[in-house]
Amino acid sequence: MTVWKSFGASVIGPNHIATGKPNQDAWSPFHHVWGDGITTSDGLGSKPFSNFGNRAACLAVVHAVYACCGKIGMGHAFLSDRIIKNWLSFIAPLESRDCAPTCLLAFRMDDGMARLGMLGDGLVATVKTDGSVVSLSDDKTEGFSNITAALWPNGTEKDWRWLSIPEDDCKSIVLCTDGVSDDLKDTDGFVKEFANAHRDLSSVSASRRTYEMLENWPTPKHSDDKTIACLFREEVADA
C-alpha cells in the first residue's frame, strides 16, 4: 500500500541572529485521513510581525485543504481564497500589512492528484517517478525583482502559481524558501539528490540531517533564514 511521509527543518539566518530577530521562516507537515501535505512560509523581512504571519500562513493552508475535502472539481481559486481568509482570521487583530508572508504548499487527497502551489518567492519542485523534475519558482524577469507577492487581502489569483499531477507520477515533493532556493545553481540536481538522500531515513532522522545541512550551509556570506520541507510517497507491504 502507499503511504505519504514528510520531514523538514528551518534555521534562523546569521543576519537575524546578529540583529536579535526571530526566524521569519516556518513550515508545517500534515497527515490526516483526508490528506497529506507540507507547507512553508517566509515572512517578509520588512514586516514587524512576519514571524507571526508565517506561522499563521501554515495553519491557514492546513485548514484550507481540509475545507476542500469532498468537493468535486475543486479549483485553485477556491483554495487560494480560503487560505487568505483563514490567514486574515488567524492574524487578527494584527494588520495584514504588518505580517505578510509568502506561502508554498503541496498536498494530496483522495482524488488521485498531487497539487503544488506557490505565492511569492522560493521553490516548489516534484521529482517524478521517471526521474524528471517539474518545478514552480518565482520569475524575477517580470516586474521588479525586489517585489515579492505575499498574502494580502487585496491579492489576486494571478499572483499564485499552481501545478497538478497524478500522485502515482509523483515520487517526492520539495519546498524551499528563498534563503535556500536563491543559492542553488542546479535546482533539479539539488532536488533529486536531496530527496533521494533522505527518503530512506525515518522522519526524525531526515529532519535532523536537514537541520544540520542548513546550519552548515556552504554558500559564503549567506545571511537569510532557510527552510526545506519534503513530502514523499512510499510503498509498504500490507500488514
DSSP state letters, 68-114: TTT-TT--HHHHHHHHHHHHHHHHTTS-GGGS-B-EEEEEE-TTSEE
- pTM of the model as a whole: 0.92
pLDDT digits (tens, 9 = 90+) for 218-234: 888 788 999 999 999 98
Partnered with residue 117 across adjacent β-strands are: 105, 162
| pLDDT tens-place string over residues 60-118 | 999 999 998 876 666 788 899 999 999 999 999 999 999 999 999 999 998 889 999 99
Superfamily in which the 2-235 domain is placed by CATH? PPM-type phosphatase domain (3.60.40.10)
